[in-house]
Chains A and B, each alone.
Chain A
């Protein structure tokens, strides 16, 4: 309850509204996804209190999930990748003059999915964090390794490219002064590197600038948006829609807990399940309400439940969550098992703000759908200079350094090449954030055991986590998940 008291202060409420509105905008605009949006806007939060900053950034994250739906339905262009599936039946419904129904059902589904995930975070979070308090350095090392393995195994088309991306991020995280020994590493004589390469700069480059460069080659042309009338489905459609929302929420919630399994995967899984359980699967693709209700609930449930590993274990499960983790660290907060004890006020205020944010989005989404549809038609050539100058000023504000803008441009180019070469950017960003923790937990574990790696197998929790890691590695190699991986191209990182 104290969380709600804090979240409802006028300042935090304002940042929540601002966050979800920017999130809606980011979600609505094709070519600007939640991860790029969050990365670009992090510098804006520098002067803010940590609670307000995280409330705003989380608002952008889940707000984008709502926003992406509107353009999928109205103009058949997914504003963000998780809404690709919604185009299939959502736009068909719009063509039949039922755009309002598609948006109404997806708003209800998004709300249910988001709220259920938050209830999960509220009730699963503290006991899971308590359990994780038993973890020592070996358990944390094994847990991070498991998380990274799941991520690399699921993301991108090639395991080798995934590992290359992950190690690239790890090596970058070692640049600067080593926190344990105090010696400098990999600075190449440049004093600007002594403090390390800032995570925000790399994220802005890899996600923001690379997106700008990528869009130079892939500009979207928007159709005229369909008119929105009548927001609720017919009487006979309520029952199937609600069942789909229930199934989508369950699937999305579970998938969100797995590192690397993003909201795209959950909406895809939900759509295929809806099609399988349907008595008349031929309706799918021609405006089936379940084809909108299920995936939309699933992607919002995923975005909510993916915060559970972050809040309880300090593990980001997707690139946007990694960017939010970077913001936590930037504001002097360390998410993980101790957060619910040491920063309880902060944790509950952020969670409470997400409940409030979801309600704001539900209210804001439907009456303003027509306006958002028009916003999506703003030509990219108008948006480009704004995004570009905003990004460069943002990079400068991190350390008031022009050198950082240069580094961001360099990483923007690297990110562009990685996208084209199908090397998953997300793996680089996640390991860059986790690199120093991974190294310190490894070195601490080895110091405890006098240099013997047996410590990782001698402790039961760590051993189980390592066995799981090995199983996933072997499974990914053996299963030859080539066909499944085709669906998870590197460009759909959420």
Chain B
């Protein structure tokens, strides 16, 4: 099945199922009337019903999975953006902001600029952002033993 809507309706179905199951674990009634499980439970049921409608309707829709993601060079750009963000998250508390920011930007830029340009642009941008947030706005960004 290559229709994107079919797959997304299944994801919605799973999501509503998880929330329905979790709502049943919370009190449906409380001391003053309905409890914290009441509204989420009914909303999950409605979402489940809607996801079935969505499934049926998406069989007629013409959005294919191949239309969802970019192709060729754009697909690489897309993936490198995600990878560089993930790299930033993984490194931030281990190496401190400046190294994490610089490395993730190099990963983002080395395909667009010459390698030495991508290095100085990455260092420059990270340093400026670090200066604005950590020094001017006094926001405690994660730093390494050297203070950056």
Interface class of chain A by DSSP: helix
A396, B92: Cβ atoms under 8 Å?
Answer: yes
Interface flag for A421 (CB, 8 Å): yes
CB contact between B68 and one of A178, A181, A420 (< 8 Å): that residue: A420
CB contact between A406 and one of B5, B30, B89 (< 8 Å): that residue: B89
* Interface of chain A residues 158 through 179 with chain B (CB within 8 A): 158, 160-161, 163-164, 167-168, 170-171, 174, 178
B81, A167: Cβ atoms under 8 Å?
Answer: no
* Interface of chain B residues 22 through 60 with chain A (CB within 8 A): 22-23, 26-27, 30, 32-40, 43-44, 46-47, 50-51, 53-54, 57
Question: Interface code A376-396, partner B: CB below 8 Å = 1, 0 otherwise?
Answer: 000001001110111011001
A167, B33: Cβ atoms under 8 Å?
Answer: no
The answer for the CA separation of A185 and B26 in the assembled complex, in Å, is 7
| A409 with B89, Cβ < 8 A, contacts A186-B22, A388-B108 known | yes
Chain B residues close to A by CB (< 8 Å): 4-5, 8, 12, 15, 19, 22-23, 26-27, 30, 32-40, 43-44, 46-47, 50-51, 53-54, 57, 63, 67-68, 70, 74, 77-78, 81-82, 84-86, 88-89, 92-93, 97, 101, 104-105, 108-109, 112-113, 121-122, 125-126, 129, 133, 137-142
Interface flag for A8 (CB, 8 Å): no
B4, A402: Cβ atoms under 8 Å?
Answer: no
Residues on the B chain within 8 Å of A381, using CB: 109, 112-113
B88, A421: Cβ atoms under 8 Å?
Answer: no
Give the size range of A's interface with the partner. 35 or more
The answer for the CA separation of A381 and B117 in the assembled complex, in Å, is 13
A451, B85: Cβ atoms under 8 Å?
Answer: no
B36, A389: Cβ atoms under 8 Å?
Answer: no
| A393 with B54, Cβ < 8 A, contacts A421-B68, A450-B33 known | no
A413, B129: Cβ atoms under 8 Å?
Answer: no
The answer for the CA separation of A399 and B67 in the assembled complex, in Å, is 36
Chain A residues close to B by CB (< 8 Å): 44, 46-47, 158, 160-161, 163-164, 167-168, 170-171, 174, 178, 180-181, 183, 185-186, 188, 209, 212-213, 216-217, 381, 384-386, 388-390, 392-393, 396-397, 400, 402, 405-406, 409, 412-413, 417, 420-423, 439, 442-443, 446-447, 450-451
| A386 with B125, Cβ < 8 A, contacts A164-B12, A171-B43, A406-B89 known | yes
CB distance from B36 to the nearest CB of A (A): 4
A384, B108: Cβ atoms under 8 Å?
Answer: yes
Residues on the A chain within 8 Å of B67, using CB: 420
CB contact between A405 and one of B44, B81, B89 (< 8 Å): that residue: B89
Using CB atoms, name the residue of chain B closest to A443. B34
The 4 lowest CB-CB distance pairs between A and B, nearest first, are A217-B70, A178-B36, A216-B77, A447-B33
Residues on the A chain within 8 Å of B32, using CB: 443, 447
Residues on the A chain within 8 Å of B40, using CB: 171, 174, 185-186
CB distance from B110 to the nearest CB of A (A): 11
CB distance from B145 to the nearest CB of A (A): 18
A413, B82: Cβ atoms under 8 Å?
Answer: yes
| A216 with B78, Cβ < 8 A, contacts A167-B46, A183-B26, A385-B122 known | yes
Residues on the B chain within 8 Å of A186, using CB: 19, 22, 40
**29 interchain pairs (CB within 8 A)?**
A160-B57, A163-B46, A164-B47, A167-B47, A168-B12, A168-B47, A171-B43, A171-B44, A171-B47, A180-B30, A183-B36, A185-B37, A217-B74, A381-B109, A381-B112, A384-B108, A385-B122, A388-B84, A388-B105, A392-B88, A396-B92, A396-B141, A397-B139, A400-B140, A405-B92, A420-B4, A439-B39, A443-B38, A447-B33
